[in-house]
Structure 1
Amino acid sequence: MSRFFPHPTYAEDQPLSKTILTTHVLTRAVQAGSLAGTGVGLSLLTLRRFNILSSRVPPVPAYLTILRSTGVGAVIAFGILSVGLPIRMWGREEIEWKDRSWRLRANKGQTECDDYTYGGMAVAAAAVAWKGKGLGWKGAVGGIGAGSLLGMLGYMGWRYGVKGGKFEEDDIP
């Protein structure tokens, strides 16, 4: 989980457990929905390219089609998991929330992935704010969702491509 949340020595001492778990789940919802939405957008472009899908709506640039479908996917997944998390955790003891949150914070790979993800989202949000005129809410959310995906891909390239999946602490004898 993000480095901004505290990480005590023991799980039963974990503060902000519900906030940590909710932030994690909703961040992953945006990523998963963005990935699915990007696939839908690319499929729409392919269907239009081969005249399988005809539209009475004037064609829009390809990047706008992809950004809009990415944004819709992110919002749908965010909505589903906003309802799904409370349903999943209904009736759970406080220690279960604390344990799950503590484990997220204890996972070095998860923390590093979050750093890249939130960095990608921040850069994308800045780009949307700077040059995002005419994108609408779907395109703006899609840009931020695409930023989260690019951040995650950057993390995967760094950790598994450059570093071979190992952390520096793992090499110490």
Structure 2
Amino acid sequence: MSRYFPHPAYAEDQPLARTILITHVGTRAITTGTIIGAGIFGTREALRRLRKAAAPSTVTASRSQLYLRVAGHSTLWTIGIVSLGLAGRMWGREEIEWQDRSWRLMENEAQLQTDDWTYGGMVAGLAATALFKRPVGWVAAVGSVGAGSVAGTLGYLGWRYGLQRREPPISE
């Protein structure tokens, strides 16, 4: 998506600077929150198995749906915390600082490629929620979008560093 924002030659001419930066930070928060959620879910499962506790008999959702709920809650918390962090970091900053940060994001080709893969994964994750036999709820749908963002990011890393075997160019 960030590829479709306008990108002028100079940072001081960058339009939609706040939108670009907020979109970038929100997207990274979704990916980060889902990774944290995977860690929480994995830890819970490991502890349950170490204690040899039986799975709760009242649970009617599959493991994948339970994971998506945990990932969804974690993603929502992460979006909230990261949004507060962005507001705190950029509070009182001049417009040129927003423009400079956004322009640097738009100038970085590897960042644009990461965004392309991440957004594609998010769409695929949302589409995958339709494959469940029962409705998953909106929190699990958020978790599915997040899982798609992680898959998209990992797909990009495999494509860039595995298949293409190239490092991003270092700009001075």
Q: Identify whether the pair has TM-score above 0.5, normalized to the shorter chain.
A: yes
**TM-score (normalised: structure 1):** 0.89
Q: In 1, Cα distance between the equivalents of 2:86 and 2:40?
A: 25
**Deviation string, structure 1 residues 98-129 (Cα, Å, up to 9, x no partner):** 0000000000100000000000001111222x
* Counterpart AA for 1:131: L
Shift of 1:36: 0.3
Q: In 2, Cα distance between the equivalents of 1:51 and 1:135?
A: 28
Match of 2:33 in 1: 33
Deviates more, 1:150-159 or 1:78-87: 78-87
Q: In 2, Cα distance between the equivalents of 1:119 and 1:20?
A: 18
Count of aligned pairs between the two proteins: 167
Shift of 1:164: 1.7
Q: In 2, Cα distance between the equivalents of 1:82 and 1:53?
A: 38
**Deviation string, structure 1 residues 67-101 (Cα, Å, up to 9, x no partner):** 11111111000111222211110111110000000
Q: Do the aligned partners of 1:121 and 1:147 also contact (CA within 8 Å) in 2?
A: yes
Are 1:112 and 2:117 an aligned pair?
Answer: no
**TM-score (normalised: structure 2):** 0.89
Matched residue SS, 1:140 = helix
Q: Which runs of 5+ in 2 are unaligned?
A: none
Deviates more, 1:119-128 or 1:18-27: 119-128
Matched residue SS, 2:51 = coil
Deviates more, 1:81-90 or 1:98-107: 81-90
Change (3 A) 1:137 1:122: same
Deviates more, 1:69-78 or 1:157-166: 157-166
Q: Do the aligned partners of 1:3 and 1:111 also contact (CA within 8 Å) in 2?
A: yes
Shift of 1:54: 6.9
Shift of 1:53: 6.2
User: What root-mean-square deviation, in Å, do the aligned CA atoms of Structure 1 and Structure 2 show?
Assistant: 1.9
Q: Do the aligned partners of 1:45 and 1:62 also contact (CA within 8 Å) in 2?
A: no
Shift of 1:7: 0.7
Matches within 5 A, 1:21-100: 21-51=21-51, 58-59=58-59, 60-100=61-101
